[in-house]
């Protein structure tokens, strides 16, 4: 089992774990050890403590250097959307870490293997193990490929509530009226629907958004409007 993971790490990311006990520790949940007293070693929690901090610093250093013109508010905002449960759970799944977790029986039965909170912990523990085994530079290279590259794909947008952000931004100097109006609704050949929505503040048009539902079109419009406003500030 573990060999598959180690092989995937070598092939996709050129990562060669020296101490595979560390990798195993990162994938071992406490109750598994209770149920297997013959097993030596620790569960993932100490490595999670370490990896949590490594993720925070690695992401902060990357964003600081990549966006020299951004103020700390924008940097913090993007960091929060990157360093959080749903993002880390998605990374665990991308690396198929979920397959290799050594879980207690009760946790297995309750569906913990697919739970975001466990997959977040496991991601942090994996990064803690990688940091100890290979050092900061290898962690940064790896995150470059698997995490930072996703910024340009807009991957982290899904974790940001742009309608709230837009509202907060527009109401800085007092109350305003923000309206979302549906401009268009089309049904495609494959039966998907595409909605087009416009967002306006005090009757001034700000941006247009598209999506497969009214809600996602509104979110798209809010994101475009918010990003335009922040960039031209």
Give catalytic residue positions.
Answer: 52, 124
Neighbours of 151 (CB within 10 A): 17
The minimum distance between CB 149 and its own copies, in angstroms, equals 20
Name which of 64 and 99 has its Cβ closer to its own copies.
64
Determine whether the annotation assigns residue 48 to a binding site: yes
Name which of 44 and 100 has its Cβ closer to its own copies.
44
Name which of 75 and 178 has its Cβ closer to its own copies.
75
For the chain, how big is the Rg over CA atoms in Å? 22
For residue 183, give both structure tokens: 């401009």
The minimum distance between CB 50 and its own copies, in angstroms, equals 5
Class of residue 188 by CB neighbours under 10 A (exposed 0-12, middle 13-18, buried 19+): exposed
Q: Which helix (H) or strand (E) holds 51?
A: helix 45-66
The minimum distance between CB 64 and its own copies, in angstroms, equals 5
Determine whether the annotation assigns residue 121 to a binding site: yes
Return the half-sphere exposure (C-beta side, CA atoms, 13 A cut-off) of residue 17: 23
The minimum distance between CB 52 and its own copies, in angstroms, equals 7
Name which of 87 and 196 has its Cβ closer to its own copies.
87
CB 118 within 8 A of CB 101: yes
Question: Which residues form the interface with its own copies (CB under 8 A)?
Answer: 45-46, 48-50, 52-54, 56-57, 59-61, 64, 70-72, 75-76, 128, 131, 136
Contacts of 175 (CB under 8 A, 6+ apart): none
Return binding residues for Mg(2+): 48, 121, 124
Return binding residues: 48, 121, 124
């Amino acid at each position: 089992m573990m060999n598959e993971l180690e092989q995937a790490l070598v092939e996709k990311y050129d990562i060669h774990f020296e101490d595979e006990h560390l990798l195993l520790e990162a994938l071992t949940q406490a109750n598994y050890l209770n149920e297997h007293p013959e097993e030596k070693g620790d569960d993932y929690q100490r490595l999670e403590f370490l990896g949590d901090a490594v993720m925070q610093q690695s992401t902060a250093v990357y964003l600081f250097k990549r966006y020299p013109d951004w103020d700390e508010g924008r940097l913090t905002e993007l960091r929060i959307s990157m360093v959080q449960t749903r993002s880390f759970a998605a990374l665990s799944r991308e690396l198929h870490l979920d397959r290799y977790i050594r879980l207690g029986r009760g946790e297995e039965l309750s569906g913990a293997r697919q739970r975001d909170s466990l997959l977040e912990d496991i991601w942090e523990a994996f990064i803690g193990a990688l940091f100890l085994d290979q050092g900061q530079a290898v962690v940064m290279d790896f995150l470059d490929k698997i995490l930072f590259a996703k910024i340009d794909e807009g991957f982290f947008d899904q974790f940001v509530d742009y309608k709230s952000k837009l509202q907060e931004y527009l109401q800085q100097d007092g109350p305003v009226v923000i309206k979302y109006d549906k401009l268009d609704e089309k049904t495609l050949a494959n039966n998907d629907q595409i909605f087009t929505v416009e967002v306006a503040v005090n009757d001034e048009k700000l941006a247009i958004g598209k999506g497969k539902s009214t809600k996602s079109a509104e979110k798209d419009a809010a994101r475009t409007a918010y990003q335009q406003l922040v960039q031209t500030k």
